[in-house]
Structure 1
Amino acid sequence: MLTTAFRLLARARRARAVHPRGVLMTGELTGSAPFPASATVTARLSKGAGTGRGLPDVLGLALRIPTGSGDWDLLLSTTGTGRFSRLLPTPATGWQRARLGTILPYRHRGALLWLMAVPLDPTASAPGRPPTRFSLHASGTTADWRRVGEVRLRDLRHDEPVPFDPVLNRPQELELAPRWLAALREQAYAGSRRGRRVS
């Protein structure tokens, strides 16, 4: 049922089921584990429901990060930063104070791992201007965030149909967690993929 629902939504929108419109950029990532030391990334900034400018929405940042075992599609959405608030998507009216997290954790080396991106540049406060610098942070179950990298973006382009997919594209050492919810997520992304192919 979940696969069908997301397939129909993607078909109706003629785009992704969620975060249907956005802007595409390229850039450089520098970091430490679980990120590579350096990589050229593709990024997409978007709004979850696609509301108009200045209206609240769940903002999104998608990063395609090359790794030694293939591409890693990391998807982040505006959320809280606390132990429990980071589990909930949080609408925001702009990028300046946005905190973009994975919401659901990964399992990395036997432990749960949440990731977060925080806008760094002042242009994030300008209407219609997406941020071009993000600091990257990681935490375990205690929500004690530590900085593990930075992304600098450039080359703003119109949105293109780059199929970011965190289910298909992730390093082998990072497992989506918890497993039962990861199974539902797989169904949702499968439906969205099918709907995009039809439209």
Structure 2
Amino acid sequence: MNIRNWVRFYLHTLLIGIGIGIITGFAVRWDDYKHLFIELNLSEIGMTTIWFMGIGAIFATLSQMGYFAYLTVHRFGLGFFRSLWNPVQVVLIAFVLFDLVYLRYNAFASSGESIWRYVLVALFLFLSGTLIAYLKVRQSNERKTFIPALFFMVCATIIEWVPVLRTNEQDWFYLMLFPLLVCNAYQILSLPRYLERSKKERMELKKRKEQEAIVKS
């Protein structure tokens, strides 16, 4: 990918993160902010929106850092494990989901609390990842992309989500999850389009240089 398309890729991811951050922020904290809309307090609404924009931008940037880290890990995994890389990813997915449930339940569950609330979070993440992985297969027409896409959507999202998982703050729990999830989904589904655009731009640049060389000669 050339620099121009990398900047586009980042900015589009950033805008998506900002948008989801604003929507999620007001949805999660609606009881705290609904009076601002009832009173039409535009200055407070504006300041709160800017706050959520900043949060969304941070999470979008974290998502992109996680995505490029994943691409590096994926290439390393293919080189080291070769044909076993997909089975290794399946094991890692199961391990990370188990830890998401077990560790959080042990750390934060009150006496007598059911484990199902923690299981449902992991199930939601797994089903969301499965949907995106299915769309990735449809996009690429290659079944082998399913496991890597699912691995990224589950494992990378949980790793990026760790700062909030450690504190278990309910509002931040959702405020961070949805921007990460949407930004990760956007990146894994849209990257091929940017790569193709970069390829076409390089070819066009090469043709122009060849034509200029012919004219000069």
Above 0.5 in TM-score? no
* TM-score, with structure 1 as normaliser: 0.22
TM-score between the two structures when normalised by the length of structure 2:
0.21
Higher relative strand content: 1
Structure with the higher helix share, 1 or 2: 2
Bigger relative CO (Cα 8 Å, ≥ 6 apart): 2
